[in-house]
């Protein structure tokens, strides 16, 4: 049976994909098949490939295909460009994203295989901002009017390496290496809808969470040790009670007199006084008192016992 090549088939297919023509115009039992492959990139742009395949069963089929092929760049590619630019403009209005379709190409070839001879037409173009990028990639809102796949038509959505599918609606017919839907099928507005997540991102929050947890644990340990420091033996660090205030160098204060005042204060308090109390009574900077206490400690005159957040200064009774 002679069957002329339908010159406008791919254009009609693209129109149907974006629901510009009524679904009734897509029904066909002619053996033609169209595959729409949308490869989504990380930035939300998409590379589109529309492949039309038809069996060439007779010489007339071959002639019709060759005639169509000769007019791809002059007639059909410009028509597809105009169609997709209008479709992108409508999608931009519906999504409030600036969109553009560029870099259109079209080519034709004849394939011969054990199953027969086929004519293959391939159109490609780039669609910027096709998908929404927001903590992942969301595909589908550009299909503002829904979609329709004719019989023997296939829609394939590919996503970037490293991304996983969080949700998809409606359920695809194939999910092995990409998401695929087969016609005859009708989609509602905004469908198919696909939500993708960068599978490498959860690792970063996980690492951050581990680090944060480690900091919390270490802080808790430090606070626990400080809180229970009173039950530990004497420590030799007097800097814990040091704070702001310009130090008074010992050259301006009689060292022996200062030491004597500290010792007299300890004796009058039964041999024990908090370091902060010594600073208060003497009216000297904390650093100056700390320096003097360090000297007394090194000579074995006093001891220091940690009590909570303060140092308790204790007079050594058996000193020479």
Give per-residue pLDDT as tens, 79-100: 999 999 999 999 999 999 999 9
Residue 242 has pLDDT above 90, yes or no: no
Of residues 58 and 32, the one with the higher pLDDT is 58
Q: 281 by DSSP, 3-state: which?
A: helix
CATH class of the structural domain 232-315? mainly alpha
**Cα–Cα distance between 269 and 257 in angstroms, integer?**
18
Asked if 37 and 156 touch (Cβ cutoff 8 Å), the reply is yes
Q: Mean pLDDT throughout 284-295?
A: 88
Residue 13 has pLDDT above 70, yes or no: no
Residue 127 has pLDDT above 50, yes or no: yes
pLDDT tier at 317, thresholds 50, 70, 90 = confident
Residue 267 has pLDDT above 60, yes or no: yes
Mean of per-residue pLDDT scores for the chain: 79
Contacts of 80 (CB under 8 A, 6+ apart): 10, 11, 14, 50, 104, 106, 123, 125
Q: Give the residue extent of every domain in the chain.
A: 9-203, 232-315
* 162-195 per-residue burial string, b: 16 or more CB within 10 A, e: under 16: ebeeeebeeebeeeeeebbbbbebebeebbbbbb
Residue 129 has pLDDT above 80, yes or no: yes
DSSP state at residue 136: S
What pLDDT score was predicted for residue 100?
95
Residue 203 has pLDDT above 70, yes or no: no
Asked if 48 and 124 touch (Cβ cutoff 8 Å), the reply is yes
pLDDT tier at 15, thresholds 50, 70, 90 = very low
First to last CA, the chain: 125
Residue 32 has pLDDT above 60, yes or no: yes
Cis preceding linkage at 134, omega within 30: no
For the chain, percent of residues with pLDDT exceeding 90: 46
Q: Mean pLDDT throughout 268-277?
A: 89
């Amino acid at each position: 049976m002679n069957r002329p090549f339908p010159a406008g088939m791919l254009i009609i297919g693209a129109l149907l994909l974006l629901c510009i023509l009524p679904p009734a115009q897509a029904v066909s039992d002619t053996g033609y098949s169209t595959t729409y492959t949308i490869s989504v990139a990380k930035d939300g742009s998409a590379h589109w490939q529309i492949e039309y395949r038809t069996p060439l069963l007779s010489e007339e089929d071959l002639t019709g295909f060759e005639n169509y092929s000769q007019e791809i760049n002059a007639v059909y590619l410009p028509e597809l460009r105009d169609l997709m630019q209008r479709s992108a403009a409508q999608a931009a209005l519906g999504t409030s994203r600036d969109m553009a379709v560029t870099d259109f190409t079209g080519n034709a070839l004849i394939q011969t295989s054990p199953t027969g001879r086929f004519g293959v037409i391939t159109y490609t173009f780039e669609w910027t901002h096709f998908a929404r990028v927001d903590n992942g990639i969301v595909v589908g809102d550009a299909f503002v009017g829904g979609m329709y796949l004719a019989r023997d038509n296939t829609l394939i959505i590919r996503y970037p390496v490293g991304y996983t599918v969080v949700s998809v609606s409606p359920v695809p017919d194939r999910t092995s290496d990409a998401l695929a839907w087969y016609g005859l099928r009708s989609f509602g507005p905004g469908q198919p809808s696909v939500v993708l997540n960068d599978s490498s991102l959860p690792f970063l929050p996980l690492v951050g969470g581990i680090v944060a947890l480690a900091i919390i644990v270490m802080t808790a340990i430090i606070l626990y040790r400080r809180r229970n420091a009173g039950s530990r033996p004497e420590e030799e660090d007097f800097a814990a009670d040091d704070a702001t205030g310009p130090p008074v160098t010992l050259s301006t204060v009689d060292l022996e007199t200062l030491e004597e005042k500290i010792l007299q204060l300890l004796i009058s308090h039964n041999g024990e006084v908090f370091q902060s109390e010594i600073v208060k009574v003497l009216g000297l900077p904390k650093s100056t008192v700390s320096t003097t206490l360090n000297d007394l400690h090194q000579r074995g005159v006093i001891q220091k016992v940690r009590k909570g957040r303060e140092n308790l200064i204790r007079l050594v009774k058996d000193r020479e």
